[in-house]
A and B are shown apart, each in its own frame.
Chain A
Amino acid sequence: MSASRCRWGTATAILAVALLAAGAAAGRAAPLRDCTPRHGTIVAVDFAHWGGPIVRGCGVGARTGYALLHAAGFTTAGDAHDGPGIVCRIGDAAFRHGTQYPTPSQESCVQTPPTTAYWAFWLARPGSNHWSYSPLGAMGDVPRPGEVELWIFGATNVAGTRGSGVPRFSPATLRAHAAARTHRTRTEQTHETRAHRPRGTGTNRPRPHRARAHRAGARAAHTSTTGTERTSSTATTTTTARTRRSGPARHRSPRRIARRPEHRGHRPNHRRTAKSAAPASAAASPTASAPTATTRVLAARPTNRRASTGSATPLIVGAVLVLLLCAGAARAIRRRRHEE
């Protein structure tokens, strides 16, 4: 027991360091587990338009829907005409390395996006299993505890009743308490391999220790460290998944997947986890009714946006061209004055 406690302490220390490193870079990413039916707001982004998954995150105490998106780890871009308040692009590290969609070649984000292709904003009030089209924009909306907010790309009619921007799954699939566990398990375990890639190998190592600590029944320790585990949502949710279900296959999976090539992680893992999870958690299978085989739900991960200022050379070249043309114009004007 003392050995396990010591290991646990090391793990916490390393996690705390990782928290500082990641927290400075990525900001206030709240772990998915922080969201309960009464606390925190779930925000999900459906990338199905690009064949992607639904990425789900959690934010606590966010004052606007916009802040909630960012708190959950998403990045957004507004359009040139309306500013950041009109969400024109959304990206998350969980889907194609944080590329924001729609890409500049698909939508220039100069004017307000058209109703035929835009991020529609849906809300499901606490306890409700019904989506309602948000009457306010991202910056006007105030997230309520227990609410689910969904961003889905597509077209809607004016009433918001028809079109590809209308969600075809129920809010229950995304809520804090429910969610298709098989899917979550799969994806989050996959993420362990990816989530910590940029942060160095230090965080990857303690993971098996932690898993063992849980298996040893350190539930109390687990709950007490909730506050410090804000490093990455994936790390904590994985732990949750493991503590909730005790299957023999589960703790083995991360290490195995870790050796796989990163972007290939999804499918082989899916098959395997689905097989192993089915007998272990019979209670989980009914909830899988909502997301179809094609709908995958991933946990959001904070995206580090590279803030490169670009090169000043084009600016200088452009300024020189403009100055040359202006000099030509000035010469023409002077000649005209001279003639007249």
Chain B
Amino acid sequence: MRSPAHPRRAARAPGARRVPRELHPIAWWLWAIGLIAAIDRTTNPLLLALALAVLGFVVASRRGSAPWARAFRYYVMLAGFVIVLRVVFRTVFTTGVAPGDHILFRLPEVPAPRWYAGVEIGGPVSLEGTLSALVDGLRLGTMLCCIGAANALANPKRALRVLPGALYELGAAVAVAVTLAPQLIESVQRVARARRLRGGRRRGLGAVRAIAIPVLADALERSLLLAAAMDSRGYGRGGAATAASRRLTGALMLTGLAGLCVGAYGLLDATAPPPLGAPALLTGAIACGAALGLGGRRVARTRYRPDPWRAPEWAVVLCGAACAALLFVPADAAAVDPTFDPLRFPPLPALPALGLLIAAIPALAAPPPVRARPRAPTADGAAEAPAPTEPVA
């Protein structure tokens, strides 16, 4: 603080650029979970649109240039598909119209037999119903976009590091799976480029054969390389666990999972006896935790280049938490969940809107992302290093 050349000061000075680095992936996930919790509270289309805009702003400002960072647009497309599907279903399987509704059009009605009278197909389609289907779809779509934003912003391979030790094999499998698709795409591009250089002009089925076989060969080669690399690092070994401890771990895990299932059922089914609800869930969670702890003891792990957790991580997490908290504040229920039954403009409640704007702060609070250097050796040589060996601790 004393000297003006203090690194933090320098980083914050206007005009000076902050050092690009990857934010801790868990921070992004917690931020996204906060937003999901907030969105779950509301069906106000204005708040939902605001949430979508916030997501877009943060992703556009802070995504890196890794393959997964391009995922957001696909999630937005998925959200659009969800909305369209919701509206179409609501239009076809009509749910009736209220007396004062504005009728958009009428679909031919399909008469259902009396024993099937619960489902109506066709009939009048009201503006009110379509709007509420639109908002319903928008809510689910916005939640999907939250997950998309977290996927685009957080490095999935680094996120897997927080898996408990007992699940490290699972983590390794997921890491391999996550890296598979980008590698395949990159492999296809490389083979296609090589073909073009050789003057391959064939199109259609012939081209598929010319590309598919080298790609498959490439994939096989890579997986053999990966398997060898993992084997040499000791993956899949039983460890120092005794048979008794392994049996205890298994028993605890099974009990815990059964408890979780029964507890979830008990909580969701109102007619279930009360001990089946929260107590069973809690017991199950404790048993699972114990099993994971016990199982993790047999694996000794060291951590290579641990991700730091600094002020920006705290800021991002707190923004997500504040957003969720401001939507959970008991507000005017009619403003958070407005109805379109008498057709009216949606209100914009102040506190929830403020909460969503707070969720946009990470666009500035998070450090700038690491970008691929322009014209760096992105050509064939650099990309060929077997990537999956890097991620899991």
Query: How far does the alpha carbon of A306 sit from the alpha carbon of B120 in the complex, in Å?
Result: 30
**Does B117 lie within 8 Å of A140, measured CB to CB?**
yes
- Residues 284-340 (chain A) with a chain B CB within 8 angstroms: 305-312, 314-315, 317-318, 321-322, 325-326, 328-330, 332-333, 336, 339-340
Give B residues with C-beta under 8 Å from A.
Answer: 43, 46-47, 49-50, 52-54, 56-57, 59-61, 65, 90, 94-101, 117-118, 120, 128-129, 132, 135-136, 270-271, 330, 333-334, 336-337, 339-348, 353, 357, 360, 363, 371-372, 374
Instruction: Identify the closest chain B residue to A86 (Cβ).
Output: B95
**Does A77 lie within 8 Å of B341, measured CB to CB?**
yes
- Residues 101-120 (chain A) with a chain B CB within 8 angstroms: 103-105, 108-110, 114-116
**Does B270 lie within 8 Å of A155, measured CB to CB?**
yes
**Does B136 lie within 8 Å of A81, measured CB to CB?**
yes
Q: A27-B99, A80-B136, A315-B348 are in contact. List 20 more A-B contacts (CB 8 A).
A: A76-B98, A78-B341, A80-B340, A84-B101, A139-B120, A140-B117, A307-B343, A308-B344, A309-B343, A309-B344, A314-B345, A317-B348, A318-B46, A318-B50, A326-B57, A328-B57, A329-B56, A329-B60, A332-B57, A340-B371
CB<8 Å pairs between A and B, sample of 13: A80-B132, A81-B136, A82-B95, A108-B336, A136-B118, A158-B271, A308-B344, A310-B347, A314-B348, A318-B46, A318-B50, A329-B53, A340-B372
Query: How far does the alpha carbon of A308 sit from the alpha carbon of B334 in the complex, in Å?
Result: 14
Which residues of B sit under 8 angstroms from A86, Cβ to Cβ? 95
Query: How far does the alpha carbon of A315 sit from the alpha carbon of B60 in the complex, in Å?
Result: 25
Query: How far does the alpha carbon of A110 sit from the alpha carbon of B52 in the complex, in Å?
Result: 20
Which residues of A sit under 8 angstroms from B330, Cβ to Cβ? 105
Asked if A9 is at the interface (CB within 8 A of a chain B CB), the reply is no
**Does A321 lie within 8 Å of B99, measured CB to CB?**
no
Asked if A137 is at the interface (CB within 8 A of a chain B CB), the reply is yes
Q: Mark interface residues in A114-156 (1 if CB within 8 Å of B CB, else 0).
A: 1110000000000000000000110110000000000000010
Partner of B90 from the list A83, A105, A332 (CB cut-off 8 Å) is A83
Query: How far does the alpha carbon of A296 sit from the alpha carbon of B265 in the complex, in Å?
Result: 39
Measured CB to CB, the closest approach of chain A to B149, in angstroms, equals 12
**Does A321 lie within 8 Å of B43, measured CB to CB?**
no
Count CB-based A-B contacts (< 8 Å). 144
**Does B50 lie within 8 Å of A108, measured CB to CB?**
no
Asked if A157 is at the interface (CB within 8 A of a chain B CB), the reply is yes
Query: How far does the alpha carbon of A329 sit from the alpha carbon of B61 in the complex, in Å?
Result: 7
Asked if A8 is at the interface (CB within 8 A of a chain B CB), the reply is no
**Does A314 lie within 8 Å of B347, measured CB to CB?**
yes
**Does A83 lie within 8 Å of B132, measured CB to CB?**
yes
Measured CB to CB, the closest approach of chain B to A14, in angstroms, equals 27
Which residues of A sit under 8 angstroms from B101, Cβ to Cβ? 84
Query: How far does the alpha carbon of A274 sit from the alpha carbon of B367 in the complex, in Å?
Result: 77
Partner of B118 from the list A140, A309, A311, A314 (CB cut-off 8 Å) is A140
**Does A137 lie within 8 Å of B343, measured CB to CB?**
no
**Does B271 lie within 8 Å of A157, measured CB to CB?**
yes
Q: A321-B357, A326-B57 are in contact. Are A84 and B345 (CB under 8 A)?
A: no
Which residues of A sit under 8 angstroms from B360, Cβ to Cβ? 325
Partner of A305 from the list B47, B336, B342 (CB cut-off 8 Å) is B342
Query: How far does the alpha carbon of A116 sit from the alpha carbon of B95 in the complex, in Å?
Result: 23
Asked if A70 is at the interface (CB within 8 A of a chain B CB), the reply is yes
Q: A110-B337, A310-B347, A314-B346 are in contact. Are A336 and B371 (CB under 8 A)?
A: yes
